[in-house]
Structure 1
Amino acid sequence: MVRWSVPIAAAAVVAGAIGAGPVIAAVQGEPVLPERTAAQLLADATQAARSGLKPMSGTVMQTASLGLPGLPEVTGMGGTSPAALLAGSHELKVWYGGADRLRFALPGRMSETDLIVNGDQAWLWESEANKATRLKGVDQVERDHDKALPTATTPQQLAQEVLERADAGTAVSVSNTEKVADRPAYQLVLAPKDTSSLVKEVKLALDGETLVPLRVQVYAKSAAEPAFEVGFTSVTFTPPAPDNFTFTPPAGAKVEEKSLADLVRGPAAGQERAELLKGAVTTVGEGWTTVAVLPLPEQALTGQAQQQDGNPAGQDTAAVADALMKSAKPVSGAWGSGRVIQTKLVSALLTDDGRLLVGAVTPEKLTEAAGRK
C-alpha cells in the first residue's frame, strides 16, 4: 500500500534495488562457523528465503535514523504508524507456527496492538481503544498476512526482497562472523557500484545454523551508523506454545467485525486514494538507482487530505507530511518544476504536475528520472 510504502521508502527502494557481484571473501574471527564464500552464502541464503519461514518466535527491533528535519512527535498505532516508523526505535514481537498460526504484537507506550491468526479465527486487538476486531475471510489472511503489516516489519521480509533481486550491480563480500540475538551469524555485505545511490552498503546477518536473516542494516554514504535497521534482539527456532494464538475479547471490550481488505485499505478517504494509485506506480532505472514514480497531488501529502481519514495514524502522517514539505527545496528543469526533500538514505521529488518520485538516490538522479516520462 502506498500509504505505508512512502514513509518507509528508503527500505522499500533498497529492497528492490539490490544486486550481487562475484567478489569472494572468507569468514574469519569469532564465533567460528563453517567457511563459506560470498557466492556460496548468497546462494544458500536465497534458497533458505525461498523455502519459507519455519516455526519460530522472537522480538524484533526496528530503528530509523534518516536525518529528517523537525519531525513532530507521533503516536498513532502504538508508535508504529507509517509516520512513526520514520524515526526512532520500535519493537515488534512475533510468533509463527505456520501459515494459519501467527501473531504480531506491537507494543506502545501504555498499550499494545495484536494481530492474531489461529486456524479459521483472526483478531485485531487494540488495548488502548479496548477494541477487538474479528477479521472475516481468514483464508485471505493466511495467504496475505504479510501485507497487513508495514513493509520491512521483520528481517526476513526485507532480506527476502534483497536476495531475490540480486544482480551484477553490487559488490558482495562476507565480513567476520558475529552474534545477533545471541546466535552465531554470518554477515553478508552488499555495496552498490553506482555512485548515484545514497546507499553505502547493506549488511545481512544470517543465522549460522538456519541461514534465516536475523538482521538487516542499511548504511548511508554520509553516516557511520545504520540509517535503517531491523533485527531480532531475541529469537527461538522452535514451535511457539499454542496459547500464543488463542484470543478471547476481554469483558467490556468493544467487539466489531471487518474484512481484511477493509482493515488494510483503511477508511473511505484512504481507500479512494489507494484505488486511484492501484496499478499506477511505475519505475525508472534499475538496480540501486531505481526510482519509483506515482501520481500523487500535493494535497494527498498534506493535512487537508490526511485529516479525512479520521484516525490517529492519518493525523500523524499529515503532521509529518506538513513538516517535510516545509523543508522541501524548489527545483526546476526541462521536465518542469517541483520540490525536493533529501535525507541520508532517500530523496523524494514532488512535481507541480502531480507526480511523486522516490528513491535511495541523489536529487539529481530524481530530476533526471522526472524528465523520462
Structure 2
Amino acid sequence: MAGLALYIHWPFCVSKCPYCDFNSHVRDSVDQDMWRAALIADMAHDAALTGGTPLSSIFFGGGTPSLMPPETVAALIEAAEHHWGFAEDIEITLEANPSSVESARFADLAGAGINRVSLGLQSLDDEALKFLGRAHDVREGLAALDIAQKVFARTSFDLIYALPGQSADAWQTELERALGFGTGHLSLYQLTIEPGTRFATLAARGELGEAEPDHGAQLYELTQACTATAGLPAYEISNHARPGEESRHNLSYWRYQNYAGIGPGAHGRRGDLATTRHKKPENWLSAVDRNGHGLQSEDPLSAYDQGAERLMMGLRLTEGVSRDRFPAALLDRSAIERLTAHGLLYPDTDRLVATPQGLLVLNSLLAEILVD
C-alpha cells in the first residue's frame, strides 16, 4: 500500500515573479510563532482524518519556503512524524530560491530534516533572469547549487525555456551546461503565459508572446534527446531524473494517490473527497483561529471526475496509467484505437501510455479518450 504524501504551503515571497501564478504573497513582516502554531493546528486536523498510514513524503512548497526559519521547518516535521509516523525512506523536499541569504540556511534546513531540495535557478543567463524577475544572478545561483549538492542528500533544480527569442542552439548550450553539474533531477518547463500574471498583462498589450507551437515542439524534443543522452530521461512531461531519483512526492500526485495539503490554498485528496484551504493568508489564519483548521471546502468527486483526474495526471508519466483503474464506460475505445493507429498512444493492452508525439498534444488526447 502506498504511503500518504503531505504538502505544506508557505505563501510568502520576497517579490512576485512576473510569470508566477502560484499562491504567493509579499508581506512586510510575518509572525513566525503565529504561523508555526497555525500550520501545526491545520496539520493536526487532517492527521485526525488520515491517520494509520505513514507518510512516504513531505513537500514544503510556496511561495518561498526557504524563507521559513529552520526551527519552524523542524517543528512541522516533528509534528508530522508524531501524527502519522514516517516510512523508513521518507523523502522530505523543500523548494528554495538560490539567493545567498537563503543558501546560508541550507545546512540548518538539512539539520531540521530536509533531505531533498528543489532549487529555483530558472535560467543560466543573467539577461534571462532579469526578464523573469528573479532576484539572483547566475553566479549566485550556481554558488547556491554547489552548497545544496554538498548539504542535501538529493538536489533538483528548475529551468524555464522557450523564452522570447531563444534559439534551439542557445537552449541546447544552456541545457548541456546544466546537465554537466551532476544533479540527479531537473524540472524543465516551457514558458507559459498564465492568467493574472504580469506577463499576461504584457501579452494582452501585445508586448509579449509565447513561442510558436512548432518552435516550442522543437525545443521540447531537443530537451528529451539531451536529457536521455545524459542519463536523465523524462519520467514525466517536464521532469527528468537518473533512475531512482524521481520525485516520490510528485509521483504520488501523478499516480493519483491520496495526499494531505495544509497551509493557504493547499489542495488535498482524501478518498473521494477533494479538499481546498482558504487561499489568502489572512483568511486562512482566521479560519484556523475560528475552526482549528484552514479548510474552505471538501467536495465529493464523482466516479467520472476521479477517472478524468486520474487519466489527466497519469498520462503525463512515461509509464502511463493502468487501464483497470477506470470504469469501462469512461473510456472511448474507438478513440483509443484511432489514436494508437496515429502513433499517439502505444499499442498496450494493459496500460494507456502516450508516445512522445502524443505527449506534445496531451490535452487533445484527453478530450478524445474520455467519454462525455
Decide: shared fold, TM above 0.5.
Answer: no
Structure showing the higher helix proportion among its residues = 2
TM-score range relative to shorter protein: under 0.3
TM-score when normalising by structure 2: 0.26
Higher relative contact order (CA 8 A, sep 6+): 1
TM-score when normalising by structure 1: 0.26
